[in-house]
């Protein structure tokens, strides 16, 4: 941060700069109204809402299953992770549990999504600061991940893979060897990115001590995910409230010390390595068995096996009932949040019984993460705005919902 | 996997209720989530106490909920806080009356409440006294309804909400023709009736090539 004295008498000399909503470094449709004194930002006002699609309202008018595809489009850089968070939230509300194999598959999904999202975040971050190669290199690995995701669920982008009580389908037979090959190769790729950036003089100069977020600021603004941890707060939901079996895997949570753009970069790189480490353990320990809960108690609320639907009258009726009437959740309200790539993705659902919630709250981490900009940007040069935006790594899909 | 149902701390909820017995309820627990209900007008003190005395210093979320037009009190404003030392979550639920819902802002305790309160205002019409910038945040400024209220239809209330761009009346054609807004940004095709900006462009939907009946 520059220590520039702002001359109040020359207020009339300030310039308003409208950045976005279509600026490349805004990663979507964020608009920033910057007030500049020369090249220094004196005031910043983010304008959001361009991507608002009324997801909460829609969620209150659809059944629990029908809403799954909408979760793909929250953080659209990690749709699988959103699917997992939503499914677990519904399961918590309804008291359903997924079988162990389904949970292992969900861990694979969530960690692949995390690597993929961080790769894009890192690539775009570096590109905004002029390091084009990193972007191209990270997209090479993202392509491998998309190929894996395609093997999991048939779609590369809009996955909709989870179901209440499990996942849509089991992994194909050749999936685990493919994942194994990726996991073996990936740490070397991380080394390549780090060779490009971590000790790169330009990179360090552009990110170190830029956009420093203190612990107090981070907590007051509700920052979560790598942005909070880079400021030195040890808060990872996979550790403090393990879900889908994260307690079974060994991994470390990187914590920053300064809370600047450089720390946020380092945290994400280490997180990718740790995700690969989790994937390696899943590969070794993935159990067999069903991928959807077929417990008597919840049988009424989940789809029967497709094979039986096509051959058995009762199953066909059952499928019809589930599809049309869906699951009735018990009356009650609960909150579940998952550690998504960008931070804490929370779902609050209030049910009064019946097939859809009367309140569906989606807490997108990017909404909170972006709110700190008016406090963070003033005092920085315009060029640092790109560094800060890149390091915050937001996605407007979940910010505007 | 019982780990999903131990996120709340009933003891903290009880401590909060004990500190403010007159205007909080006994904590409600569902699936391990602990919710303390607070009467209107006292939320700020309760949240400040939870932050300063009970250690709930991470501001996670603040959002509204509607119990329906006939319910009284009608609106809830729910704040979710997190204690990083005990690793437990706390929900503080403020209930507000249906007509004219207003409550003091939480910004003095958590600066991050700013945008969250703007969103509650945008979606439910709950006003926050003392908020420095209470404007709509997700919906357009010209929007007049509060879309997350239960009586608001999911398909919206249509064209009366956002002013439609005048298309010279041609979109009112109801005779089965499709109105296509062709100009001004399409490269002008060759032909007699398509001079860009020309006065003689017949209403779209009624175009007949010359010489044809």
Q: What is the pLDDT of residues A163-222, one digit of tens each?
A: 888 888 889 988 999 999 999 999 999 999 999 888 889 999 999 889 899 999 999 898
Mean pLDDT of A386-395: 88
Q: Which residue has the tokens 């939320």?
A: B43
CA distance B31 to chain A (A): 7
Query: Using CB atoms, which residue from B31, B58, B147 is nearest to A219?
Result: B58
Per-residue pLDDT, A299: 61
Mean pLDDT of A369-375: 91
Q: Is residue B140 part of a domain?
A: yes
Q: Is B201's pLDDT higher than 90?
A: no
Per-residue pLDDT, B177: 61
Q: Is B178's pLDDT higher than 80?
A: no
User: What are B11-67's pLDDT values in tens digits?
Assistant: 888 888 888 888 888 888 888 888 888 888 888 889 999 999 888 989 999 999 998
Give the 3-state secondary structure of residue B8: strand
Per-residue pLDDT, B80: 93
Number of domains present in the structure of chain B: 1
Per-residue pLDDT, B202: 45
Mean pLDDT of B156-161: 62
The pair of structure tokens assigned to B154 is: 């999911």
Residues constituting chain A: 401
Q: Is residue B23 part of a domain?
A: yes
Q: Is residue B119 part of a domain?
A: yes
Residue (of A135, A136, A108) closest to A123 by Cα position: A135
Q: Are B122 and B148 in contact (CB under 8 A)?
A: no
CB contact under 8 A, B3 and A243: yes
- Cβ neighbors of A121 (< 8 A, separation 6 or more) are A77, A268, A341, A390, A393
Q: Is A59's pLDDT higher than 70?
A: yes
pTM of this structure: 0.82
Query: Using CB atoms, which residue from B32, B80, B154 is nearest to A57?
Result: B154
CA distance B178 to chain A (A): 27
Q: Is A5's pLDDT higher than 60?
A: no
Residue (of A75, A76, A93) closest to A356 by Cα position: A93
Higher pLDDT among residues A164 and A105, named by residue: A105
CB contact under 8 A, A346 and B80: yes
CB contact under 8 A, A242 and B3: yes
Range scoring the smallest mean pLDDT among A4-18, A280-294, A375-389, B78-92: A4-18
Q: Is residue B173 part of a domain?
A: no
Mean pLDDT of A146-155: 90
> Which residue in A has a C-alpha nearest to residue B147's C-alpha?
A57
Q: Is B142 exposed, middle or buried (0-12, 13-18, 19+ CB in 10 A)?
A: exposed
Alpha carbons A315 and B122: distance in angstroms, whole number:
45
Q: Is residue B45 part of a domain?
A: yes
Per-residue pLDDT, A184: 92
Residue-wise DSSP of A308-344:
HHHH-HHHHHHHHHHHHH-PPPPSEEEEEEEEETTEE
ipTM of the complex: 0.84
Q: Are A179 and A171 in contact (CB under 8 A)?
A: no
A&B contacts, CB < 8 Å: 119
Question: What is the CATH number for B63?
Answer: 3.30.460.80
Higher pLDDT among residues A177 and B182, named by residue: A177
Alpha carbons A340 and A344: distance in angstroms, whole number:
6
Partners of B60 on chain A (C-beta within 8 Å) are: 222, 224, 337, 344, 346, 363
Mean pLDDT of A261-275: 92
CB contact under 8 A, B60 and A363: yes
Q: Which residue has the tokens 């194999």?
A: A101
- The reply to whether A360 touches chain B by the CB within 8 Å rule is no
Higher pLDDT among residues A57 and B189, named by residue: A57
Q: Is residue B170 part of a domain?
A: no
Q: Is residue B180 part of a domain?
A: no
> How much of chain B exceeds pLDDT 90, in percent?
21
User: What are B71-126's pLDDT values in tens digits?
Assistant: 888 899 999 999 998 888 999 999 888 888 889 999 999 998 999 999 999 999 89
The pair of structure tokens assigned to A151 is: 């093997």
Mean pLDDT of B171-196: 51
Alpha carbons A66 and A91: distance in angstroms, whole number:
15
User: What are A218-258's pLDDT values in tens digits?
Assistant: 998 989 999 999 999 989 999 888 888 898 999 999 999 98
Alpha carbons B131 and B108: distance in angstroms, whole number:
10
- Domains of chain A in start order, with CATH, are 66-298+366-400 (1.10.645.10)
User: What are A282-336's pLDDT values in tens digits?
Assistant: 999 999 888 887 765 556 666 777 788 888 888 888 888 777 777 777 888 889 9
> How much of chain A exceeds pLDDT 90, in percent?
39
> Which residue in A has a C-alpha nearest to residue B148's C-alpha?
A57
Mean pLDDT of A6-20: 69
Q: Is residue B186 part of a domain?
A: no
The residue range of the domain holding B13 is 2-157
């Amino acid at each position: 941060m520059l220590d520039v004295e702002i001359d109040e008498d020359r207020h009339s000399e300030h310039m308003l700069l409208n950045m976005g909503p279509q600026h490349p470094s805004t990663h979507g449709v964020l608009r920033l109204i910057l007030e500049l004194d020369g090249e220094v930002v004196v005031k910043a006002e983010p304008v959001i809402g361009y991507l608002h699609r009324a997801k909460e309202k829609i969620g209150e008018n659809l059944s629990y299953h029908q809403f799954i595809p909408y979760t793909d489009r929250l953080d659209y850089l990690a749709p699988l992770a959103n699917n997992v968070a939503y499914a677990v939230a519904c399961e918590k509300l309804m008291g359903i549990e997924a079988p162990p194999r389904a949970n292992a598959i969900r861990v694979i999904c969530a960690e692949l999504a995390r690597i993929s999202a961080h790769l894009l975040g890192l690539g775009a971050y570096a590109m905004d600061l002029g390091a084009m190669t990193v972007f191209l290199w990270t997209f090479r690995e993202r392509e491998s991940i998309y190929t894996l995701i395609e093997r999991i669920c048939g779609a590369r982008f809009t996955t909709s893979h989870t179901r209440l009580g499990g996942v849509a389908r089991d992994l194909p037979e050749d999936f685990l060897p493919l994942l194994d090959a990726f996991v073996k190769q990936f740490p070397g790729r991380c080394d390549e990115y780090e060779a490009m950036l971590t000790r790169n003089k330009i990179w360090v100069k552009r990110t170190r001590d830029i956009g420093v977020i203190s612990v107090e600021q981070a907590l007051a603004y509700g920052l979560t995910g790598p942005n909070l941890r880079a400021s030195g707060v040890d808060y990872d939901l996979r550790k403090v409230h393990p879900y889908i079996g994260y307690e079974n895997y060994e991994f470390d949570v990187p914590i920053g010390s300064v809370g600047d753009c450089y720390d946020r970069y380092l945290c994400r790189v280490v997180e990718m390595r740790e995700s690969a480490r989790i994937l390696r353990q899943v590969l070794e320990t993935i159990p067999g068995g069903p991928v959807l809960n077929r417990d008597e108690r919840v049988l009424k609320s989940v789809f029967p096996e497709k094979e039986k639907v096509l051959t058995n009258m009762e199953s066909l009726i059952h499928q019809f009932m589930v599809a049309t009437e869906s699951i009735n959740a018990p009356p009650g309200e609960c909150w579940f949040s998952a550690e998504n790539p960008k931070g804490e993705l929370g779902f609050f659902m209030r049910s009064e019984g019946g097939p859809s919630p009367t309140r569906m709250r989606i807490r997108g981490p990017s909404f909170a993460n972006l709110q700190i900009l008016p406090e963070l940007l003033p005092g920085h040069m315009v060029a640092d705005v790109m560094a800060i935006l890149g390091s915050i790594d937001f996605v407007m899909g979940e910010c505007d919902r | 996997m019982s780990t999903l149902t131990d996120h709340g701390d009933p003891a903290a909820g009880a401590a909060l209720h004990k500190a403010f017995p007159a205007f909080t309820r006994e904590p409600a627990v569902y699936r391990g989530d602990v919710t303390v209900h607070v009467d209107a007008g006292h939320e700020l003190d309760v949240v400040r106490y939870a932050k300063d005395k009970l250690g709930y210093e991470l501001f996670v979320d603040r959002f509204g909920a509607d119990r329906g037009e006939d319910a009284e009190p009608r609106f809830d404003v729910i704040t979710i806080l997190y204690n990083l030392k005990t690793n437990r979550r706390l929900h503080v639920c403020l209930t507000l009356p249906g007509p004219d819902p207003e409550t003091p802002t939480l910004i003095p305790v958590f600066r991050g409440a700013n945008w969250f309160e703007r969103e509650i205002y945008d979606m439910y019409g709950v006003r926050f006294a003392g908020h420095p910038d209470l404007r709509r945040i997700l919906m357009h400024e010209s929007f007049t309804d509060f879309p997350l209220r239960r009586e608001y239809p999911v398909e919206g209330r249509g064209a009366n909400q956002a002013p439609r761009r005048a298309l010279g009346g041609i979109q009112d054609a109801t005779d089965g023709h499709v109105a296509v807004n062709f100009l001004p940004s399409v490269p002008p095709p060759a032909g007699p009736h398509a001079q860009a900006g020309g006065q003689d462009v017949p209403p779209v939907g009624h175009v007949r090539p010359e010489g044809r009946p």
